[in-house]
Amino acid sequence: MTDTQTLVKELVNKHGNRRESLLPILQGIITNNRYISEYAMMEIANELDISRSEVYGTATFYSFLDTKPKGKYVIRVCKTITCSMKGKNQILLALEDCLKIKLNETTPDKKFTILETNCLGWCHKAPAMLINDDVFTELTPEMVHQIIEDYKKKGIQEKA
């Protein structure tokens, strides 16, 4: 069995093989792989006994369910009104400067992806961003540099 097959089997065992389990299963794939490959969608369709297009339809509807490869750390910068008023663009520039990539790109080492997202619900502490599930608020470009440095170190520690 391939890794993806094993992962899908595990998730189906955990959440069940009914249609209602589809979203938790897709979320599980994201937690592990950061994106849902076509192969994973096929495997899920087989396990739940529904058509592949149904799985594809659901997976592509939700903005957090990526279907294209992403880095290990997906950064989502809030672009909705308050964050945009309070300096979202400087935060994006700082990220692009730190990681030497543009918005919607992934670093060559597959570690970081920069994305924009809609309202994160931290308007009173704007600007805000998510890195995977972790929230960062009241950001400044200096803080962004520090946060990214920390994540880079984290990656090295995990390897060692």
The footprint of other proteins (CB under 8 A) covers 18-24, 26-27, 57-58, 61-65, 79-82, 84-85, 117-126, 130, 133-135, 137-138
Nearer to other proteins, 2 or 51 (CB): 51
Nearer to other proteins, 59 or 148 (CB): 59
User: Residue 45 CB, nearest distance to other proteins (Å)?
Assistant: 12
How many C-beta atoms lie closer than 10 Å to residue 4's C-beta? Answer: 19
Contacts of 110 (CB under 8 A, 6+ apart): 69, 71, 72
DSSP state of 123: G
User: Residue 2 CB, nearest distance to other proteins (Å)?
Assistant: 24
Nearer to other proteins, 57 or 69 (CB): 57
User: Residue 79 CB, nearest distance to other proteins (Å)?
Assistant: 8
User: Residue 109 CB, nearest distance to other proteins (Å)?
Assistant: 25
Sequence letter at residue 115: L
Per-residue b/e over 47-80, b at no fewer than 16 CB within 10 Å?
bbebeeeebbebbeeeeebbeeebbbbbbbbbbb
130: helix, strand or coil: strand
Nearer to other proteins, 2 or 31 (CB): 31
User: Residue 113 CB, nearest distance to other proteins (Å)?
Assistant: 15
- CA distances, 74 to each of 28, 104, 112 (Å): 15, 10, 6
Nearer to other proteins, 112 or 122 (CB): 122
Q: Residue 43's closest CA among 65, 60, 31, 26?
A: 26
